[in-house]
């Protein structure tokens, strides 16, 4: 298969690119990423120079460039990870979230349609469903009720993807995953922030009273699920992805401080995020029964391995802290 993976220099996209190229298959992968602050080519060092891999710096909102890539590389499959992804940033600056997540997706869809792409997978989030109370789970039929500018922009993109299926008959899927964790996670997000702060003896900030619940999934389990959706997803269908790993933020910070053996005095409760969703929890029955997916990581084991990854890859996160990752150039890249 000939893939265009967008946002492949970010956390999940880079894990997906590596997943495709290390599967031992003959996949060809073009990675289109504009390299915002979240794009990091160090994430892709393992696949640099791979014969079946091309990195192109550019935006999904650049129609001319996207057309060129689809034509030149005879792409048949698009997996769209490219996005502004941080809720806190969307609260202080929603503009770029609409431009990238909504208009960028629409641009990609138009190009995909013009070039007769055979499969378009939109990587979305459970945040489009809003918040749950103490009980219940998000299913694919849960009404869309986003709370933040981030989740609203992802919802708008999902609706466009669905509309391109209904209107033009495009073969699309939408995946809605719970919170990911694992290697190469940018240290502004909860788990890598807590790990890297703990390693530096800095405060461990927790919103509100720490009782918010997130449903955690290892990034490699997410990549495996997307792979299955690419190959077996029924046209037009939405698939929720989650591994039944509900944890409060308090539980997460306790597990990390225990593993690193740092003082609990570092834990600092800060003013809650406006519109902070209380609880997310995914019902993965559809992807499990229809596509045969199941997660391979137990959370405790996956978190332990993740903490060890940050310990072993101090250079990776220190390059982010000191900003030097921005000027890193791999052996083969094309700037557009």
Among residues 1, 36, 288, 309, which is the contact residue for ligand NAD, using CB under 6 A? 36
Instruction: State yes or no: residue 13 binds ligand NAD (CB under 6 A).
Output: yes
Backbone angles phi, psi at 46, to 5 degrees: -60, -25
Cα–Cα distance, 198 to 264 (Å, whole number): 10
Cα–Cα distance, 113 to 166 (Å, whole number): 13
**Geometric angle at alpha carbon 289, from 286 and 292, rounded to 5°:** 110
Instruction: State yes or no: residue 147 binds ligand NAD (CB under 6 A).
Output: no
Closest-by-Cβ residue to ligand NAD is: 10
CB of 38 to ligand NAD, least distance (A): 3
Instruction: State yes or no: residue 320 binds ligand NAD (CB under 6 A).
Output: no
* Bridge partners, 204 (sequence order): 267
Task: For CA atoms 306, 221, 59, 68, give the dihedral sign.
Answer: positive
Cα–Cα distance, 246 to 327 (Å, whole number): 38
Catalytic option among 53, 84, 115, 127: 127
Site residues for ligand NAD, window 156-195 (CB under 6 A)?
177, 179-180, 186
Q: 59-82: buried (b, 16+ CB within 10 Å) or exposed (e) per residue?
A: bbbbeebbeebbeebebbbbbbbb
Catalytic option among 84, 126, 221, 246: 126
Among residues 17, 20, 30, 39, which is the contact residue for ligand NAD, using CB under 6 A? 39
> Is 127 a residue of the active site?
yes
> Is 280 a residue of the active site?
no
Among residues 31, 77, 105, 125, which is the contact residue for ligand NAD, using CB under 6 A? 125
Which tokens go with 93?
């600056």
Task: Specify the pairing of strand 2-6 against strand 77-80.
Answer: parallel
Cα–Cα distance, 124 to 180 (Å, whole number): 12
> Is 126 a residue of the active site?
yes
CB of 261 to ligand NAD, least distance (A): 27
Site residues for ligand NAD, window 79-118 (CB under 6 A)?
81-85, 100, 104
Cα–Cα distance, 255 to 149 (Å, whole number): 30
Cα–Cα distance, 219 to 189 (Å, whole number): 14
Backbone angles phi, psi at 105, to 5 degrees: -65, -40
Among residues 65, 121, 131, 154, which is the contact residue for ligand NAD, using CB under 6 A? 154
Helix (H) or strand (E) holding 177: strand 172-177
Instruction: State yes or no: residue 11 binds ligand NAD (CB under 6 A).
Output: yes
Site residues for ligand NAD, window 60-79 (CB under 6 A)?
60-61
Nearest CB to ligand NAD, comparing residues 130 and 262:
130
Catalytic option among 42, 115, 137, 150: 150
Instruction: List residues binding ligand NAD (CB under 6 A).
Output: 6-7, 9-13, 32-36, 38-39, 59-61, 81-85, 100, 104, 123, 125, 154, 177, 179-180, 186
Active-site residues: which are they? 126-127, 150
């Amino acid at each position: 298969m000939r893939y265009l993976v967008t946002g492949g220099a970010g956390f999940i996209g880079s894990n997906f690119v590596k997943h495709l190229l290390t599967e031992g298959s003959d996949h060809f992968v073009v990675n289109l990423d504009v390299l915002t602050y979240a794009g990091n080519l160090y994430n892709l060092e393992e696949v640099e120079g791979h014969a079946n891999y091309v990195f192109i710096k550019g935006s999904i909102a650049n129609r001319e460039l996207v057309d060129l890539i689809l034509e030149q590389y005879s792409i048949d499959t698009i997996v769209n990870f490219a996005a502004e992804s941080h809720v806190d940033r969307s609260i202080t600056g929603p503009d770029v979230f609409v431009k990238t997540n909504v208009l960028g997706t629409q641009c990609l869809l138009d190009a995909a349609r013009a070039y007769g792409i055979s499969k378009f997978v939109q990587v979305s989030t459970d945040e489009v469903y809003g918040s749950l109370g103490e009980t219940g789970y998000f299913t694919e039929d849960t009404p869309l009720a986003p709370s933040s500018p981030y989740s609203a922009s992802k919802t708008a993109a999902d609706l466009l993807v669905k509309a391109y299926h209904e209107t033009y008959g495009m073969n699309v899927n939408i995946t809605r995953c719970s919170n990911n964790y694992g290697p190469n996670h940018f240290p502004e997000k909860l788990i890598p922030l807590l790990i890297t702060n703990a390693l530096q003896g800095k405060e461990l900030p927790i919103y509100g009273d720490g009782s918010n619940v997130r449903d955690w999934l290892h990034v490699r389990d997410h990549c495996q699920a997307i792979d299955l959706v690419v190959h077996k997803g029924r046209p037009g269908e939405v698939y929720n992805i989650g591994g039944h790993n509900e944890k409060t933020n308090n539980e997460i910070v306790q597990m990390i401080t225990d593993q690193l053996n740092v003082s609990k005095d570092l834990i600092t409760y800060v003013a809650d995020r406006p519109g902070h969703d209380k609880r997310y929890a995914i019902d993965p029955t559809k992807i499990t029964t229809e596509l045969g997916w199941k997660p391979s990581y137990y959370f405790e084991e996956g978190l332990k391995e993740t903490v060890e990854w940050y310990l072993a890859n101090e250079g990776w996160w220190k390059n982010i802290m000191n900003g030097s990752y921005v000027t890193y150039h791999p052996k083969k890249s094309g700037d557009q």
